[in-house]
Structure 1
């Protein structure tokens, strides 16, 4: 089924954005450098910059004294050069004069000490002073630039993160709790505070979790994390208000940090116009790029899924980082490959940190398009230039959507609760790794997927995979039941349905509200030491046709059948002969329950059978070689197929008999596409 393309993210921009962070305020003493930048940007095929990030002191060197001349010149220079501008608000780092005059703007750490001036995001989101200073500078920027023809959108702050434990935040937390629970009795029950005699008798007794104070009440820990997200989103909304007042049509984004654990990015969904994120995988940590490629693909899909439309790759490095344990250079071909991976999964931009390497401070050796040598005759510059040329050729792909009839659940609140559980494995429950392993099994088959949280609608999917859904919030079980009864297929795993939204254990047996749906009762869970394995084999005559022998590690749940039938059995330990995986028919649909952390052999075989059974859409109806990924974007009667080789060795991909036109990379020959090491090919075909 063909769909229409999404309209351009920015109404006056056709095709892809290619550019990144530009910091002319660092080079005001070097006018020749600023002039040279425009020439080099044209050579690099840049058409957009994020301008003014961390520039507050250059805009307001003294309180109430504003200096916009340098920014006026930069905006005009860029506009005249045909480079569009995502204008940043500077709240990511405040000037020293503000910290000195208004110490309340500085954060208080979990140990109760107020930070000194320094770093970035070292500010309190609750502080009325900081909020007012942000409002003033944002109002000034909006009044001056919101209708400038070169400015296409706002880049609000930079990589929101962190928390503050100051008295202002403590009081705001208590007020947030009052709105949520209404009474202390309700809060004490939700937090199960009679444990260790921790019952609160006055709201003033409640404090944020601190290492020298209270950290044993899991409901408190969970609600604090929710509050931090709430306060950050509220601050973002506060930042946006003056921008939208001046020009409500100018779209706003802020850059996320992958699966950063400190914020639930889904809570920004109703605030931002555009989702964007900063991608910094550790390429070349394995013999192939596949392990990092799988995780990166999942995060691309997550960001696309938040608004269900194309997103922006806001930052990546054209070469290296300088903050990872080892700053490994991308090998030849890899920059094009991983840039196109973002496009394949729904990005309508490829952008970098940074344009030009700084002369000093902590990021002077972070990768950049222009090295300290200052000219275009470098491998990295040529790689960036090649990506810019490639994006110009692929301009028709911009706006095309990803049609996914499978979804994998990655849920921040579930992770917070699960990682605070104190058992069954305090050396690591590995939630994110577990989600990636489930995602990877379908990724290797070229199955387009959405990555959603547990509160999202499930209709429209054929398959939903919910690994380790430890916390089941209200309405989730009901939506899952309706999804399955209507014909959907649901995959659940061990350590699911354990607690409710307050981190209170479900009474009456696990997997709690999912028990009837799964058709099993989980009596207990066996945690294994690292290196321990329990053998598992396919159940004879199982309906999926599994036939292998497998191994379980780390977690083995002991389950009893309550309507489900086994598809795999334990062959060892005291639970030998008991189900290790089951299937349960419910209404017109199917629920699978995988009771142990099984090896990749099981995952690949299991998901291959399930994908065939539910007839999942694949990017290419053909087997993919090891290390090769396939993705497809669709729109206006055309499908764009991306074939990507994440190994250093050449690969050949057999096509599926459809008519393909090459847009990038080697053309098909005799029904085959050859991919060089780290090679990529983009093919066009008519949509069905």
Structure 2
């Protein structure tokens, strides 16, 4: 299977989204000249060009794209050619209104923006394949082509009759028959039993609370339906030339498409990420997303497909990146396994919804701070010989389970707003600040390669997940689990008899009640006093040593942190300093060491291959040094 290594040809990729259809041909030569001056070697073309490529159903106008690709190739610039199917032209919605997405409120979303498609509408799928196959037939062996970029930021959901029909088929495959569906959805509650498949609908606006398992299954279904769209287009371009790698762009931590399932269908993983320059934790969030991409790809190099060189226009406060910040965050991505750094977009749009969005060539033109910094970044990346294709090793794995994520955030859980990604961040952040590199791992995966495995939340558990955790613990691994775990099965059926179900003996604990907190809970223990907030549990030790205990209130005397051999259970949400102290102790006992010890606060260290990247988030300085043995 082709990989990103083949596309890089031993060098880091650098560039951005190029939308020449927005500009007269007289600008194109200037674009290529400026790209060469900046060190650009890859641009993404065609993401939103469907109307320019196919102005009506029976006619293609490829001549302009022929010209663009030929000019780019002559300039030594490779192309990530996109299928433009994320933004259908108005003629599709006008002629086929059923291709427009319908919300759960029954209202159709009209054309005039982007993402206006139903992934289940036959007319949409036919039209998407027609344009994809035409592109593949014409350009699959063009010398500028380095990779295919399928669609864009998949995530559109629809609740129309097309989706209802496909949802019923999906449910029949998952649950077998109506008896299986009724059992899985618990339809004995509130007289919801279904007597025919025609009665089954997508979640729509209802009189009161909907069935949570129906909602959960629909989230799974939408991810699978979108994946079918991706794989259909992927197969079409692969058939034309199997040697060209294929990807699509993920969006940080995005609940609606199961990253583990999607990444398995790509040749390499790509990321669109837009940390907020006003967010003091932006670098933390960037690193976390980058580690996720590397992990989804099984440790292989990945591609930073989009970031803004300046402002992200869709933010309420669209502050540009201050001088040096784009280079710093770009190098952070390379340090964490990216083999390329691209931007949205090359030249700032003069019109349209993104006219205020940052660009490599801003409205001020090449005589600007932003373009000068782009040129400096191009030079920095070109100087990093031998980095492309190398790997990043982590001793810590953090379990991320898409089904638990979806289910724990369903309505009418004990704590409204129990954020799964917040739980991941609470465990990831102290390790990032201590320069301990982490992978994310799938529930049920082989965990034996890690010294320490963290499970911030595993609300739903499967037999495979239980086997994986037990096997890891039996092999001598150190394991830490957070609260509200082992509560339900994949059909959102709550386990009885105490929690975490299937793991109480491993952790030496039994939880009887989940206890959301309206006020801070004082806790004291071996790693100091702290205040827990948001959530706690009524737990008791079943052989575990109590490490920290609640003080005062109805939970007074209840254990909040317990240890059973090398297995730790945290029955609340400790403060950030307390979590850092706890994880430092656990890391020390597990033999987990920072990349470099005793660095000043704000300095991030990441080892990639035989080099260590040092990123100072205070001064914005970057150094790359030989890795210590």
TM range (shorter): over 0.9
| Counterparts of residues 53-68 of structure 1 (less than 5 Å) | 53-68=47-62
**What is residue 288 of structure 2 aligned with on the other side?**
298
Which of residues 331, 342, 362 is equivalent to 2:333?
342
Which of residues 7, 25, 45 is equivalent to 1:31?
25
- In the alignment, the residues of structure 2 paired with residue 285 and residue 302 of structure 1 have an alpha-carbon distance, to the nearest angstrom, of 20
- In the alignment, the residues of structure 1 paired with residue 342 and residue 294 of structure 2 have an alpha-carbon distance, to the nearest angstrom, of 16
Answer whether contact 2:530 2:575 (CA < 8 A) is retained.
yes
Per the alignment, in what secondary structure is the counterpart of residue 502 of structure 2?
helix
For the pair 1:230 / 2:205, whether they are aligned, the reply is: no
Q: Cα deviations across residues 260-296 of structure 1 (Å, max 9, x unaligned)?
A: 222212111221111001010111233xxxx121121
Answer whether contact 1:106 1:115 (CA < 8 A) is retained.
yes
**What is residue 650 of structure 1 aligned with on the other side?**
none
Distance of aligned partners of 1:106 and 1:214 in 2 relative to their CA distance in 1, 3 Å threshold: farther
| Counterparts of residues 151-166 of structure 1 (less than 5 Å) | 151-166=145-160
For the pair 1:571 / 2:551, whether they are aligned, the reply is: yes
For the pair 1:385 / 2:375, whether they are aligned, the reply is: yes
Answer whether contact 2:118 2:156 (CA < 8 A) is retained.
no
Distance of aligned partners of 1:277 and 1:213 in 2 relative to their CA distance in 1, 3 Å threshold: farther
Ranges in structure 1 where 5+ consecutive residues have no aligned partner: 1-5, 539-545, 648-676
How many angstroms does 1:187 deviate by? 1.3
Name the Cα RMSD after superposition: 1.5
Query: In terms of mean alpha carbon deviation, does 602-611 or 94-103 score higher?
Result: 94-103
Per the alignment, in what secondary structure is the counterpart of residue 311 of structure 2?
coil
**What is residue 131 of structure 1 aligned with on the other side?**
125
Q: Cα deviations across residues 334-376 of structure 1 (Å, max 9, x unaligned)?
A: 11111111111111111000001111111011000112233x2
How many angstroms does 1:93 deviate by? 0.8
- In the alignment, the residues of structure 2 paired with residue 366 and residue 16 of structure 1 have an alpha-carbon distance, to the nearest angstrom, of 25
- In the alignment, the residues of structure 1 paired with residue 605 and residue 545 of structure 2 have an alpha-carbon distance, to the nearest angstrom, of 34
**What is residue 608 of structure 2 aligned with on the other side?**
633
- In the alignment, the residues of structure 1 paired with residue 8 and residue 302 of structure 2 have an alpha-carbon distance, to the nearest angstrom, of 17
For the pair 1:643 / 2:614, whether they are aligned, the reply is: yes
- In the alignment, the residues of structure 1 paired with residue 494 and residue 424 of structure 2 have an alpha-carbon distance, to the nearest angstrom, of 22
What is the TM-score of this pair, normalised by structure 2?
0.97
| Counterparts of residues 550-565 of structure 1 (less than 5 Å) | 550-565=530-545
What is the TM-score of this pair, normalised by structure 1?
0.89
**What is residue 663 of structure 1 aligned with on the other side?**
none
Query: In terms of mean alpha carbon deviation, does 518-527 or 496-505 score higher?
Result: 518-527
How many angstroms does 1:98 deviate by? 1.6
Query: In terms of mean alpha carbon deviation, does 102-111 or 337-346 score higher?
Result: 102-111
Answer whether contact 1:358 1:364 (CA < 8 A) is retained.
yes
How many angstroms does 1:213 deviate by? 6.0
- In the alignment, the residues of structure 2 paired with residue 642 and residue 436 of structure 1 have an alpha-carbon distance, to the nearest angstrom, of 22
- In the alignment, the residues of structure 1 paired with residue 536 and residue 265 of structure 2 have an alpha-carbon distance, to the nearest angstrom, of 41
**What is residue 108 of structure 1 aligned with on the other side?**
102
Distance of aligned partners of 1:214 and 1:207 in 2 relative to their CA distance in 1, 3 Å threshold: farther
How many angstroms does 1:89 deviate by? 0.4
Query: In terms of mean alpha carbon deviation, does 177-186 or 259-268 score higher?
Result: 259-268
Answer whether contact 1:7 1:399 (CA < 8 A) is retained.
no
Answer whether contact 2:4 2:245 (CA < 8 A) is retained.
no
**What is residue 535 of structure 1 aligned with on the other side?**
522
Which of residues 413, 427, 452 is equivalent to 1:463?
452
**What is residue 402 of structure 2 aligned with on the other side?**
412
- In the alignment, the residues of structure 1 paired with residue 333 and residue 317 of structure 2 have an alpha-carbon distance, to the nearest angstrom, of 23
Distance of aligned partners of 1:213 and 1:35 in 2 relative to their CA distance in 1, 3 Å threshold: farther
How many angstroms does 1:508 deviate by? 1.6
**What is residue 91 of structure 2 aligned with on the other side?**
97
Which of residues 169, 176, 180 is equivalent to 1:175?
169
- In the alignment, the residues of structure 1 paired with residue 249 and residue 18 of structure 2 have an alpha-carbon distance, to the nearest angstrom, of 15
Which of residues 230, 234, 244 is equivalent to 2:238?
244
Which of residues 444, 447, 452 is equivalent to 2:441?
452
For the pair 1:593 / 2:576, whether they are aligned, the reply is: no
Which of residues 325, 328, 331 is equivalent to 2:322?
331
Which of residues 508, 521, 541 is equivalent to 1:519?
508
Distance of aligned partners of 1:223 and 1:7 in 2 relative to their CA distance in 1, 3 Å threshold: closer
For the pair 1:87 / 2:62, whether they are aligned, the reply is: no
How many angstroms does 1:214 deviate by? 7.4
Which of residues 144, 150, 167 is equivalent to 2:144?
150
After the TM superposition, which parts of structure 1 deviate over 3 Å for at least 4 consecutive aligned residues?
A: 212-215
- In the alignment, the residues of structure 2 paired with residue 213 and residue 55 of structure 1 have an alpha-carbon distance, to the nearest angstrom, of 42
Which of residues 364, 382, 392 is equivalent to 1:373?
364
- In the alignment, the residues of structure 2 paired with residue 607 and residue 115 of structure 1 have an alpha-carbon distance, to the nearest angstrom, of 47
Q: Cα deviations across residues 639-670 of structure 1 (Å, max 9, x unaligned)?
A: 211111222xxxxxxxxxxxxxxxxxxxxxxx
**What is residue 71 of structure 1 aligned with on the other side?**
65
- In the alignment, the residues of structure 1 paired with residue 331 and residue 347 of structure 2 have an alpha-carbon distance, to the nearest angstrom, of 23
Which of residues 107, 113, 116 is equivalent to 1:122?
116
How many angstroms does 1:447 deviate by? 1.1
Answer whether contact 1:455 1:476 (CA < 8 A) is retained.
yes
- In the alignment, the residues of structure 2 paired with residue 31 and residue 239 of structure 1 have an alpha-carbon distance, to the nearest angstrom, of 29
- In the alignment, the residues of structure 2 paired with residue 468 and residue 507 of structure 1 have an alpha-carbon distance, to the nearest angstrom, of 18
- In the alignment, the residues of structure 2 paired with residue 459 and residue 307 of structure 1 have an alpha-carbon distance, to the nearest angstrom, of 18
How many angstroms does 1:625 deviate by? 2.0
The number of aligned residues is 627
Ranges in structure 2 where 5+ consecutive residues have no aligned partner: none
**What is residue 662 of structure 1 aligned with on the other side?**
none
Per the alignment, in what secondary structure is the counterpart of residue 138 of structure 2?
helix
| Counterparts of residues 487-526 of structure 1 (less than 5 Å) | 487-526=476-515
Which of residues 14, 17, 33 is equivalent to 1:18?
14
**What is residue 201 of structure 1 aligned with on the other side?**
195
Answer whether contact 1:461 1:488 (CA < 8 A) is retained.
yes
- In the alignment, the residues of structure 1 paired with residue 397 and residue 322 of structure 2 have an alpha-carbon distance, to the nearest angstrom, of 32
